[in-house]
């Protein structure tokens, strides 16, 4: 029996419409339900937003490492190679709740690879990677993570607010959209199209998207690049608030002042290895240099020729000298200029420590 021509045209259309209805029903009715949780092996309650004053979620269960402390992210003796190039060489790191860990290093040090392993975008060649006590590829472990990478491509035709709404819909207990916008300081641009924003404004929108899910662990890769002073201060305040509420934060930045201001612990990497780690104070103590400043008429070129002096610059009537022997320098300054005043001796900065450590590792 020959099928009428109009049925050969109608039948595929009927099948297509039926599939669309079934998929839509699953997406909006089944997937957010308990049945959807069983089918997917995860929870997907969508569009549920709370407006409490707490930014931090209570999404997952961080694990304890062998030595006892609770950790939310861990690398244990991890190595990663790309062909003949070694990106990570037996690296061990752990991040605890409520800790801001700054990961510093020159380009190619292994910072991006380490974060990629934690995010599950790479697999280690050796060692163990844990996120919230589980594999980074486990969906449950990723529900408590917020991410702001250095290179982010978002749809230019959507507004800033629409991007936050879209991102928040994937978390089970997100912030209200208004709270996320306020914390990121983007209320004035919330209804502007993303494609029309400046580079700094786009970073603010990306930050709002990273925190809208109330993360227990937040990865920030060069977050303040392109931001003006006011926007940077707003972001810093929110980062501190997150940390104070127990969020663990992994920060990579080339702005050493930022790391010095925000971090609880600093890790310095070079050539795929961790070459130093500790608090900012401990990192400064690794460097023998000190900064001596004073009001003096002594010529900077003369000071540069003295033993133990690393560098010397003049700012108006003040001279700033970096030295490995502050005591000897101070004696000579006082002996050379009887009218010297406003003498200050300071410990090396984090920037000094970073420069010396990475130079030694080169």
**Does residue 106 sit in the same domain as residue 239?**
yes
Binned average pLDDT, 10 residues per bin, the chain of 362 residues: 58 71 57 43 43 50 58 96 94 96 93 94 95 91 92 94 96 95 97 97 98 97 94 97 97 92 95 93 81 95 94 94 92 95 88 80 66
Q: What is the pLDDT of residue 82?
A: 93
Residue 266's CATH number: 3.40.50.300
Give me the pLDDT at residue 362, please. 63
How far apart (Å, rounded) are the C-alpha atoms in residues 157 and 197? Answer: 11
Q: Please choose, from the candidates 250, 254, 246, the residue with its C-alpha nearest in 3D space to the C-alpha of residue 210.
A: 250
Q: Is residue 57 part of a domain?
A: no
Whether residues 188 and 129 fall in one domain:
yes
**Are the CB atoms for 262 and 240 separated by under 8 Å?**
yes
Question: Residues 241, 351: one domain?
Answer: no
Q: What is the pLDDT of residue 7?
A: 57
Q: What is the pLDDT of residue 139?
A: 86
Q: Is residue 50 part of a domain?
A: no
- What CA–CA distance (Å, rounded) separates 293 from 313? 10
Q: With respect to residue 309, please indicate whether it lies within any of the assigned structural domains.
A: yes
Range of the domain at 33: 5-40
Q: What's the pLDDT at 356? A: 78
Answer with the one of 220, 249, 278 that is the final residue of a domain: 278
Rounded to 5 degrees, φ, ψ at 283 are: -65, -40
**Residue 52 placed within a domain:** no
Are 210 and 116 members of one domain? yes
Choose the final residue of a domain: 278, 298, 313.
278
Domain boundary among 253, 278, 303: 278
Is residue 184, in this structure, part of any structural domain at all? yes
- Looking at the structure of the chain, the number of domains it has is 3
Are 148 and 219 in a shared domain? yes
């Amino acid at each position: 029996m020959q099928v009428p021509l109009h049925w050969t045209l109608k039948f595929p259309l009927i099948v297509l419409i039926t599939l669309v209805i079934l998929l839509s029903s699953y997406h909006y009715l089944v997937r957010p339900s308990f049945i959807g949780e069983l089918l997917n092996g995860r929870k997907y309650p969508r569009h549920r937003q709370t407006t409490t004053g707490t930014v931090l979620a209570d999404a997952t269960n961080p694990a304890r490492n062998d030595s006892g402390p609770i950790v939310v992210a861990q690398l244990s003796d991890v190595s990663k190679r790309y062909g003949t190039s070694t990106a990570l060489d037996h690296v061990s790191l752990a991040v605890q709740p409520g800790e801001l860990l700054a990961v510093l290093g020159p380009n190619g040090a292994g910072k991006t690879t380490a974060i990629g392993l934690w995010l599950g975008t790479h697999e280690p060649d050796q060692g163990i990677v844990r996120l919230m006590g589980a594999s980074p590829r486990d969906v449950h472990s990723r529900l408590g993570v917020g991410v702001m990478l250095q290179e982010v491509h978002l749809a230019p035709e959507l507004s800033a607010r629409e991007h936050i709404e879209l991102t928040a819909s994937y978390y089970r207990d997100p912030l209200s959209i208004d709270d996320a916008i306020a914390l990121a300081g983007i209320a004035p641009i919330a209804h502007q199209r993303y494609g029309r924003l400046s580079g700094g404004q786009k970073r603010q929108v990306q930050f709002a998207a990273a925190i809208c899910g109330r993360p227990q662990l937040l990865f920030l890769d060069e977050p303040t690049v392109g931001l003006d002073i006011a926007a940077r201060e707003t972001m810093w305040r929110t980062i501190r608030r997150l940390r104070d509420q127990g969020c663990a934060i992994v920060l990579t930045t080339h702005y050493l002042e930022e790391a010095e201001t925000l971090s609880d612990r600093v890790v310095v990497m070079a050539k795929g290895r961790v070459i130093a780690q500790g608090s900012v104070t401990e990192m400064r103590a690794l460097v023998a240099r000190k900064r001596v400043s004073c009001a003096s008429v002594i010529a900077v070129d003369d000071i540069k020729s003295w033993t133990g002096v690393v560098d010397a610059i003049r700012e108006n009537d003040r001279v700033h000298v970096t030295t490995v022997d502050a005591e000897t320098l101070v004696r000579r300054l006082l002996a050379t200029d009887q009218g010297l005043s406003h003498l200050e001796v300071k410990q090396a900065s984090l920037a000094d420590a970073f420069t010396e450590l990475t130079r030694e590792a080169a």
